[in-house]
Amino acid sequence: MAQIYRRFLHWAKGVFHSGTDQNENTIEGEIHWSRAIRHYMIRLWRLALNESGDKPDSLKQLLDDGPLALSITPPDIAVIRGRLDAILFSRLSAAIKEEINALKHTSLGDAPGAGNTLYLDCLLKVSTPHSIKGEHFIPEHDVDNILWYGDRDKLDTNLVITRKEIPLDSQDRSPLPSMILIHRTREFVGRKSEIFGICTDSYQWNFMHINKKRQVSRLSLYWLHDQHQIEKLVRHIIRQAAILHRKAVGS
DSSP string, the chain: -HHHHHHHHHHHHHHHSTTS-TTS---TT---GGGG-SHHHHHHHHHHHT------HHHHHHHHHHHHHHT--SS-GGGHHHHHHHHHHHHHHHHHHHHHHHHHTSGGGGSTTTT---EEEEEEEEE--EEETTEEE--EEEEEEEEESS-GGGT-EEEEEEE-SSPPPTT--TTHHHHHHHHHHHHHTT----EEEEEESSSEEEEEEE-TT--EEEEEEEHHHHHHHHHHHHHHHHHHHHHHHHHHHH-
Which sign, positive or negative, has the C-alpha torsion 126, 209, 235, 222? Answer: positive
pLDDT of residue 2: 46
Residues 130-141 have a mean pLDDT of: 57
Confidence of residue 66 (pLDDT cuts 50, 70, 90): low
Residues 195-224 have a mean pLDDT of: 91
Report which of residues 180 and 23 the model is more confident about.
180
Q: What percent of the chain has pLDDT over 70?
A: 54
Quick check: 250 pLDDT over 80? Answer: no
CA–CA dist 249, 251 (Å, integer): 6
Mean pLDDT of the chain: 71
Determine which of 7-16, 114-123, 127-136, 156-165 has the lowest per-residue pLDDT on average: 7-16
Report which of residues 165 and 19 the model is more confident about.
165
Confidence of residue 185 (pLDDT cuts 50, 70, 90): confident
Residues 136-146 have a mean pLDDT of: 70
Quick check: 231 pLDDT over 50? Answer: yes
pLDDT of residue 195: 95
Query: What global pTM score does this model have?
Result: 0.68
